[in-house]
Amino acid sequence: MEKSARKLKNIELNRLSVDKFKDSEKLPLVVILDNIRSLNNVGSVFRTCDCMGIGKVYLCGITGTPPHRDIHKTSLGAENSVLWEYEKDILKVIQHLKSKGFTIAGLEQTDQSLDIRKHPWDNEPLALIIGNEIDGIGDEAIGECERLFEIPQYGTKHSFNVAVSVGIALWELTRLAKRRP
Protein backbone atom coordinates (compact mmCIF):
# COMPACT_ATOMS: atom_id res chain seq x y z
CA MET A 1 0.00 0.00 0.00
CA GLU A 2 1.29 3.47 -0.92
CA LYS A 3 1.87 6.12 1.67
CA SER A 4 -1.17 8.35 2.05
CA ALA A 5 -1.00 11.93 0.84
CA ARG A 6 -0.09 14.68 3.28
CA LYS A 7 -1.71 18.08 3.06
CA LEU A 8 0.78 20.88 2.66
CA LYS A 9 1.14 23.45 5.42
CA ASN A 10 0.62 27.10 4.53
CA ILE A 11 4.33 27.75 4.81
CA GLU A 12 4.98 25.06 2.17
CA LEU A 13 2.74 26.71 -0.43
CA ASN A 14 5.33 29.36 -1.39
CA ARG A 15 2.74 32.11 -1.27
CA LEU A 16 3.80 35.57 -2.36
CA SER A 17 3.55 38.48 0.01
CA VAL A 18 1.11 41.21 -1.03
CA ASP A 19 4.03 43.43 -2.08
CA LYS A 20 5.68 40.66 -4.12
CA PHE A 21 2.35 39.84 -5.75
CA LYS A 22 1.87 43.49 -6.72
CA ASP A 23 5.36 43.51 -8.26
CA SER A 24 4.98 40.14 -10.02
CA GLU A 25 4.34 39.71 -13.73
CA LYS A 26 0.63 39.48 -14.47
CA LEU A 27 -1.28 38.17 -17.42
CA PRO A 28 -2.39 40.94 -19.81
CA LEU A 29 -5.95 40.31 -18.66
CA VAL A 30 -8.32 42.51 -16.68
CA VAL A 31 -11.79 41.75 -15.37
CA ILE A 32 -14.69 44.20 -15.58
CA LEU A 33 -17.63 43.57 -13.23
CA ASP A 34 -20.85 45.04 -14.63
CA ASN A 35 -23.45 45.80 -11.93
CA ILE A 36 -22.67 42.84 -9.66
CA ARG A 37 -25.16 42.93 -6.78
CA SER A 38 -23.62 40.38 -4.42
CA LEU A 39 -20.68 41.59 -2.38
CA ASN A 40 -19.78 37.95 -1.77
CA ASN A 41 -19.43 37.48 -5.53
CA VAL A 42 -17.24 40.58 -5.72
CA GLY A 43 -15.00 39.21 -2.96
CA SER A 44 -14.78 35.83 -4.67
CA VAL A 45 -13.75 37.50 -7.92
CA PHE A 46 -10.94 39.33 -6.12
CA ARG A 47 -9.76 36.06 -4.60
CA THR A 48 -9.86 34.25 -7.95
CA CYS A 49 -8.02 37.11 -9.68
CA ASP A 50 -5.30 36.93 -7.03
CA CYS A 51 -4.99 33.15 -7.45
CA MET A 52 -4.72 33.43 -11.23
CA GLY A 53 -2.34 36.40 -11.35
CA ILE A 54 -4.77 38.84 -12.93
CA GLY A 55 -3.64 42.45 -13.17
CA LYS A 56 -6.71 44.48 -12.35
CA VAL A 57 -10.44 44.46 -11.64
CA TYR A 58 -12.75 47.26 -12.74
CA LEU A 59 -15.92 47.64 -10.67
CA CYS A 60 -18.74 49.34 -12.57
CA GLY A 61 -22.30 50.51 -11.96
CA ILE A 62 -23.83 49.24 -8.73
CA THR A 63 -20.94 46.85 -8.04
CA GLY A 64 -19.80 47.28 -4.44
CA THR A 65 -16.26 48.36 -3.63
CA PRO A 66 -13.77 47.68 -0.86
CA PRO A 67 -13.49 48.21 1.96
CA HIS A 68 -16.52 46.20 2.94
CA ARG A 69 -16.73 43.30 5.36
CA ASP A 70 -18.75 41.10 2.96
CA ILE A 71 -16.16 41.57 0.20
CA HIS A 72 -13.33 40.90 2.64
CA LYS A 73 -15.09 37.79 3.98
CA THR A 74 -14.85 35.99 0.64
CA SER A 75 -11.75 37.67 -0.77
CA LEU A 76 -9.64 36.77 2.27
CA GLY A 77 -7.75 40.04 1.76
CA ALA A 78 -7.25 39.75 -2.02
CA GLU A 79 -8.84 43.18 -2.40
CA ASN A 80 -5.51 44.43 -1.02
CA SER A 81 -3.32 42.54 -3.51
CA VAL A 82 -5.30 42.90 -6.75
CA LEU A 83 -5.43 46.39 -8.21
CA TRP A 84 -8.95 47.71 -8.64
CA GLU A 85 -10.73 50.80 -9.82
CA TYR A 86 -14.33 51.95 -9.61
CA GLU A 87 -16.05 53.69 -12.51
CA LYS A 88 -19.81 54.05 -12.58
CA ASP A 89 -19.96 54.09 -16.40
CA ILE A 90 -18.75 50.80 -17.91
CA LEU A 91 -18.57 52.42 -21.36
CA LYS A 92 -15.84 54.78 -20.10
CA VAL A 93 -13.83 51.78 -18.89
CA ILE A 94 -14.32 49.98 -22.20
CA GLN A 95 -13.22 53.02 -24.24
CA HIS A 96 -10.19 53.54 -21.97
CA LEU A 97 -9.12 49.91 -22.35
CA LYS A 98 -9.68 49.94 -26.11
CA SER A 99 -7.41 52.99 -26.34
CA LYS A 100 -4.75 50.96 -24.50
CA GLY A 101 -4.99 48.13 -27.05
CA PHE A 102 -7.21 45.73 -25.10
CA THR A 103 -9.62 43.44 -26.90
CA ILE A 104 -13.00 43.60 -25.18
CA ALA A 105 -14.65 40.26 -24.51
CA GLY A 106 -17.88 39.41 -22.76
CA LEU A 107 -18.78 36.24 -20.90
CA GLU A 108 -22.40 35.93 -21.96
CA GLN A 109 -24.78 33.58 -23.71
CA THR A 110 -25.64 35.19 -27.06
CA ASP A 111 -26.35 33.98 -30.56
CA GLN A 112 -22.72 34.83 -31.41
CA SER A 113 -20.91 33.48 -28.34
CA LEU A 114 -18.05 31.05 -28.83
CA ASP A 115 -17.12 28.17 -26.57
CA ILE A 116 -14.46 29.69 -24.30
CA ARG A 117 -12.39 26.51 -24.64
CA LYS A 118 -11.93 27.27 -28.34
CA HIS A 119 -10.67 30.84 -27.94
CA PRO A 120 -7.12 31.13 -29.30
CA TRP A 121 -5.63 33.53 -26.77
CA ASP A 122 -1.99 34.37 -27.33
CA ASN A 123 -1.52 36.78 -24.44
CA GLU A 124 -2.76 39.87 -26.24
CA PRO A 125 -4.32 42.38 -23.82
CA LEU A 126 -7.83 41.17 -23.02
CA ALA A 127 -10.60 42.71 -20.91
CA LEU A 128 -13.27 40.24 -19.79
CA ILE A 129 -16.68 41.67 -18.88
CA ILE A 130 -18.79 39.75 -16.37
CA GLY A 131 -22.46 40.69 -16.13
CA ASN A 132 -24.76 40.77 -13.16
CA GLU A 133 -26.56 37.86 -11.59
CA ILE A 134 -29.97 38.48 -13.17
CA ASP A 135 -29.58 40.30 -16.49
CA GLY A 136 -25.99 39.53 -17.46
CA ILE A 137 -23.98 42.11 -19.36
CA GLY A 138 -25.85 45.26 -20.34
CA ASP A 139 -26.80 45.61 -24.02
CA GLU A 140 -24.61 48.70 -24.58
CA ALA A 141 -21.55 46.88 -23.22
CA ILE A 142 -22.32 43.79 -25.32
CA GLY A 143 -22.40 46.09 -28.35
CA GLU A 144 -18.80 47.08 -27.56
CA CYS A 145 -17.54 43.50 -27.26
CA GLU A 146 -15.20 42.29 -29.97
CA ARG A 147 -15.51 38.71 -28.72
CA LEU A 148 -18.24 36.90 -26.82
CA PHE A 149 -17.59 33.72 -24.89
CA GLU A 150 -19.77 31.24 -23.12
CA ILE A 151 -19.08 28.29 -20.87
CA PRO A 152 -20.71 25.11 -22.19
CA GLN A 153 -23.43 23.85 -19.86
CA TYR A 154 -25.32 20.59 -20.03
CA GLY A 155 -28.09 20.73 -17.42
CA THR A 156 -31.42 22.50 -17.13
CA LYS A 157 -30.28 25.79 -15.55
CA HIS A 158 -27.70 27.14 -18.03
CA SER A 159 -26.66 29.67 -15.42
CA PHE A 160 -23.55 29.47 -13.24
CA ASN A 161 -23.09 31.70 -10.23
CA VAL A 162 -21.09 34.83 -11.14
CA ALA A 163 -18.10 33.82 -9.03
CA VAL A 164 -18.14 30.28 -10.45
CA SER A 165 -18.27 31.67 -14.01
CA VAL A 166 -15.29 33.91 -13.32
CA GLY A 167 -13.35 31.01 -11.86
CA ILE A 168 -14.01 28.78 -14.86
CA ALA A 169 -13.30 31.54 -17.40
CA LEU A 170 -10.07 32.71 -15.77
CA TRP A 171 -8.82 29.15 -15.38
CA GLU A 172 -9.45 28.47 -19.06
CA LEU A 173 -7.96 31.76 -20.28
CA THR A 174 -4.93 31.24 -18.08
CA ARG A 175 -4.49 27.74 -19.49
CA LEU A 176 -4.78 29.13 -23.01
CA ALA A 177 -2.18 31.79 -22.26
CA LYS A 178 0.40 29.02 -22.67
CA ARG A 179 2.66 30.59 -20.09
CA ARG A 180 1.21 28.69 -17.18
CA PRO A 181 1.70 24.99 -16.52
Q: How far apart are CA 13 and CA 134, in angstroms?
A: 37
Query: In one letter, which amino acid is 23?
Result: D
**What are phi and psi for residue 29, nearest 5 degrees?**
-140, 130
What type of residue sits at position 71?
I
Q: Cα 105 to the chain's mean position, in Å?
A: 12
Rounded mean pLDDT, 67-93: 97
- pLDDT tens profile 22-51: 899 888 999 999 999 999 999 999 999 999
How far is residue 101's CA from residue 173's CA, in Å, rounded to a whole number? 18
Q: Are 70 and 47 in contact (CB under 8 A)?
A: no
| pLDDT recorded at residue 10 | 86
The whole-number pLDDT of residue 1 equals 54
Q: Which amino acid is at 164?
A: V
pLDDT at 180 over 80: no
Q: pTM above 0.85?
A: yes
| DSSP conformation class of 55 | E
Q: What are the structural domains, with CATH classification, of the chain?
A: 23-176 (3.40.1280.10)
The single-letter DSSP state of residue 136 is B
Residue 75 has pLDDT above 70, yes or no: yes
What are the two backbone dihedrals, phi and then psi, of residue 31, each rounded to the nearest 5 degrees?
Answer: -115, 135
